[in-house]
Amino acid sequence: MRAKLSFGAATILFVVCGAAHAANVPVRITDQNGDPAANAVIVLSNDMTAAGRLLPGQLPTSKLVDQRNETFIPHVTVIPRNGEVSFANTDAPLHQVYSFSPVKQFELSLAPGETSTGIVFDRVGVAAIGCNIHDHMIAYIFVTDSPWTVITDENGQANVSDVPAGTYNAEIWHPRIPPATETPNSRLIIGDAGARLEISIDLLPDRNEHRAHGGRY
């Protein structure tokens, strides 16, 4: 079964009943124009994750963010709490990577060809990453306690795998969600037949995605 959700609506996305075993949840996220929404983060959480208890899962505990052509690659990185992110500079100029976000604050300089040691992200939330030299450079580190956290590809698609049967909250985050807009948050009941999410959300235009974050996070 499937259901579409307009941004900010509070509805049950879908209900699938069945025996208690792990299932897959394919996801497709689009914007208000029906275009695929890449870099959308989907989080399924239950009572344990809501209580701040980190659960074992398939999320890699270390990630690399590169800097090429004065661009952070990838634009959005998902990491579990207490995971670490290293930053590389494969550009010609010097970069000075920083975050003033409450989730994590740091500053480091990277000469061409250098890679930083891993920076541990021990608080759940979103850290905006910038470059002190190139203000147009922006990236985001999404830190989660849920092992059922995925990010959409250029087609707006993702797959949440190995989700045990049960009741979950389904939340969507995107760097172009308008400020002060409530994040979609709806109940999801999963059985052994799995389920499918198809959600439409309102996003700001693409041109804002790589501009300075202005302290939003």
CATH code, 106: 2.60.40.420
pLDDT of residue 181: 86
What average pLDDT score do residues 71-86 get? 96
Question: What global pTM score does this model have?
Answer: 0.83
* Amino acid of residue 128: A
Q: Residue 136 contacts by C-beta under 8 Å, 6 or more apart in sequence?
A: 70, 210, 211, 212
Alpha carbon 10 to its chain centroid, in Å, reads 21
Q: What values do phi and psi take at 36, rounded to 5?
A: -60, 140
Beta strands in 111-156 (DSSP E): 119-121, 125-131, 138-144, 149-151
Specify whether 85 is located in the same domain as 138.
yes
Strand partners, 100: 105
pLDDT of residue 51: 55
Task: Determine, yes or no, domain membership for 5.
Answer: no
Specify whether 183 is located in the same domain as 159.
yes
Task: Determine, yes or no, domain membership for 76.
Answer: yes
Reference 106, options 93, 96, 114, 115; nearest CA is 96
User: What is the distance between the alpha carbons of residues 130 and 128, in angstroms, rounded to a whole number?
Assistant: 7
Which residue range(s) make up the domain with 135?
62-144
Range with lowest mean pLDDT among 68-72, 96-100, 150-154, 205-209 = 205-209
Q: How confident is the model at residue 3 (pLDDT cuts 50, 70, 90)?
A: very low
pLDDT of residue 164: 87
Specify whether 111 is located in the same domain as 44.
no
3-class SS of residue 4: coil
Are 165 and 23 spatial neighbours (Cβ–Cβ below 8 Å)?
yes
Residue 29 predicted with pLDDT over 60: yes
3-class SS of residue 208: helix
Alpha carbon 118 to its chain centroid, in Å, reads 19
Numbers of helices and strands, H then E, in the chain: 1, 17
User: What is the distance between the alpha carbons of residues 39 and 49, in angstroms, rounded to a whole number?
Assistant: 22
User: What is the distance between the alpha carbons of residues 155 and 152, in angstroms, rounded to a whole number?
Assistant: 7
Strand partners, 125: 143
**Number of domains present in the structure of the chain:** 2
H or E element: which one contains 59?
none
Task: Determine, yes or no, domain membership for 4.
Answer: no
Give the CA dihedral 79, 155, 175, 10, nearest 10 degrees. -100
- CATH number of the domain at 30, please: 2.60.40.10
Q: Mean pLDDT across the chain, nearest whole number?
A: 83
Reference 158, options 9, 71, 28, 24; nearest CA is 28
Specify whether 169 is located in the same domain as 130.
no
